[in-house]
Amino acid sequence: MLVIHGVTRSRASRIIWLCNEIGLPFRQVPVIQAYRLADPDAPDAALNTRSPAFLKLSPSGAIPVIEDDGLVMSESYAINHYLARKHGAPFGPVDAAEDALMMQWSFYAATAVEPDALTLLFLHARGQSQSGEDQVLVANAAERLVRPFKVIDDHLARHGHLVGGRFTVADINMAETIRYAQGYGPLMEEFPALRQWLADAQGRAGFQKMWQARLAEPE
């Protein structure tokens, strides 16, 4: 059986959402981010990204990691492409062209969206910091996201989904990345097609099941 290492309050959420859509059973090992623990190196600390046992599996010390039929791999977007390709359509590609387009959108999510969307999540949505310097960082991140969001919004307005006119792994990877920016109203309100697509994606049973599991975990 597929094993997913990582709590649901992490990028493991993308993997779990895809597994729910496919109907793929998995066992979850709740490795938690070291930075969320007061003393991750304490002998009685919960299994975390600095635990020696986890570092043996993933020297980069990051979740999620999967084990599947002897394959051990990290990098959430790549994991989802592996699983989508292995299990095929509708969530995976029907041919090499769709495969390429799904990767195109996931690389776009990882490079053009994720870094600035994470800034909005950590400095705005969660409100950890209200300093003037942080407000500048938030404004700059939101400004940089306008261009990719316009590209995505235009594409969705014409096609409804990212690839193949249906909901696929590309939508999951992009939606779980854009979610980080979702709490920043001034940006989101500029992009109606993107907003509707995100609402539809998050209304799916596969997302809702993942989300309930995530909410059940301690913050």
Ligand X SMILES: N[C@@H](CCC(=O)N[C@@H](CS)C(=O)NCC(=O)O)C(=O)O
- Are 113 and 174 in contact by the 8 Å Cβ rule? The answer is yes
Tell which one of 22, 63, 141, 174 touches ligand X (CB under 6 A). 63
Can you tell me which of 11, 81, 124, 179 binds ligand X, judged by CB under 6 A? 11
Contact between 22 and ligand X by CB under 6 A: the answer reads no
Among 105, 161, 115, 126, smallest CA distance to 9 is for 126
CB distance 72 to 65 below 8 Å: yes
Distances in Å between the alpha carbon of 112 and those of 28, 56, 105, 141, 156?
Answer: 30, 31, 10, 11, 17
Instruction: Select from 59-67, 99-107, 122-130, 169-177 the region that touches ligand X (CB under 6 A).
Output: 59-67
Q: How far is the CB of 139 from ligand X (least distance, A)?
A: 24
Q: For the window 27-56, what string marks contact with ligand X as x by the rule CB under 6 A?
A: ------xxx-------------x-------
Spatial distance between the Cα atoms of 215 and 125, rounded to a whole number of angstroms: 16
CB atoms within 10 A of CB 76: 26
Q: At closest approach, how far in Å is the CB of 40 from ligand X?
A: 8
HSE-up (13 A, CA, CB side) for residue 121: 14
Nearer to ligand X, 106 or 168 (CB): 106
Cβ contacts of 26 within 8 Å, gap of 6 or more: 1, 2, 3, 4, 16, 19
Q: Going residue by residue from 70 to 109, which x/- string records binding to ligand X, judged by CB under 6 A?
A: ----xxxx--------------------------------
Pick the closer one to ligand X by CB: 105 or 191: 105
Site residues (vs ligand X, CB under 6 A): 10-11, 33-35, 49, 61-64, 74-77
